Structures are given as structure tokens and as C-alpha cells.
């Protein structure tokens, strides 16, 4: 078919095709940006894991406190953490797991449940323990510490 002068023939302009591709690319980029932002927001607003704090509340002239904590049922051996007087050790707990800690200082020793989901659910994301010469104290919601366990003495 030949072109006749005066005939109204519409040709696609290269600029229209480019413009349409640019608009599609912009829409795709916008969609990707929205998806990334939704992912980031989901991560940012997720609850952080509970943190268990174990403070050595022994007098400064005592032996260091040796503590190791493991998730109940875990077969992995945990290394002892050395906590000097007035210092603390902390670890992240899995929200649904029980953690048992073992402590030694001189000839004193004991193990205790450092994190129990049912017991610690109302404490927010922080569980505070203080270990003193008198025993093991857990911080309550009122901010006061309550004695939860005693030391055993003898050869460990």
C-alpha cells in the first residue's frame, strides 16, 4: 500500500514507545521499592529476642563467677563465661525455649532455670538475674529482686 499525499496515516513515534517502556520500568521499580519497604518494616517491628542478664553481685574480693548456659535439650557444650564482681554476662534466648545455667564460684555451685517462657513472658524482653553470696535473685516486674535459689557448697 503506497502513501498518498494528504492521507492521514498514523505512525508510532519512537518517543511514544520509549515513554511507555519508561513508565513500565518506573512502575516496576515502584513495586519493588514498596515490597522492600514492607519487608524492612516487618523486620523492624518484630519483637527482638529475650535477653537474659546475669550479674555477678559478689563482693569485689571474691572469686570470679563462672557461668555457662544451655538451651534445655541441647547437646552442644557451652563454654564457661567468667564474670568478674559487678560485671554481667548476657545472652539472647529463643522465645519458646527453656535455658538452664550452671554457676561456680570457689567451692560454691548450683544450676538454675535462667529463662522459662511461661514464667518470663510478662517481663518484657529483659530477664535480670543477680548472683550474690546469698544465692540467685530474679528481678520482678516491680523492680525488686526475689531470691529464687541457694548455693550448694562442697567440691564441684
Dihedral pair phi/psi, residue 101, rounded to 5°: -115, 150
Domain covering 51-153, topology: Immunoglobulin-like (2.60.40)
pLDDT of residue 47: 76
Q: Which residues contact 116 (CB under 8 A, 6 or more apart)?
A: 98
DSSP bridge pairs for 109: 104, 152
- Single pTM value for the model: 0.68
The cell numbers describing 69, all together, are: 548456659
Instruction: Return the domain boundaries, the chain.
Output: 12-46, 51-153
The pLDDT tens digits for 23-78 are: 777 777 777 777 777 766 555 566 788 999 999 999 988 889 999 999 988 877 67
Higher pLDDT, 90 or 11: 90
156 pLDDT exceeds 50? no
3 pLDDT exceeds 70? no
* Residue-averaged pLDDT of the chain: 84
Amino acid at each position: 500500500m503506497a502513501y498518498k499525499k494528504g492521507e492521514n496515516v498514523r505512525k508510532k513515534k519512537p518517543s511514544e514507545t520509549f515513554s511507555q517502556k519508561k513508565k513500565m520500568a518506573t512502575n516496576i521499580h515502584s513495586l519493588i521499592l514498596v515490597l522492600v519497604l514492607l519487608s524492612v518494616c516487618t523486620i523492624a517491628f518484630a519483637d527482638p529476642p529475650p535477653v537474659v542478664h546475669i550479674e555477678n553481685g559478689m563482693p569485689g574480693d571474691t572469686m570470679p563467677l563462672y557461668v555457662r548456659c544451655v538451651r534445655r535439650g541441647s547437646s552442644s557444650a557451652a563454654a564457661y563465661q567468667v564474670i568478674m564482681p559487678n560485671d554481667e554476662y548476657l545472652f539472647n534466648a529463643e522465645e519458646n525455649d527453656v535455658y538452664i545455667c550452671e554457676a561456680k564460684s570457689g567451692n560454691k555451685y548450683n544450676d538454675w532455670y535462667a529463662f522459662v517462657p511461661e514464667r518470663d513472658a510478662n517481663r518484657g524482653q529483659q530477664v535480670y538475674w543477680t548472683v550474690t553470696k546469698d544465692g540467685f535473685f530474679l528481678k520482678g516486674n516491680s523492680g525488686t529482686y526475689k531470691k529464687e535459689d541457694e548455693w550448694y557448697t562442697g567440691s564441684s
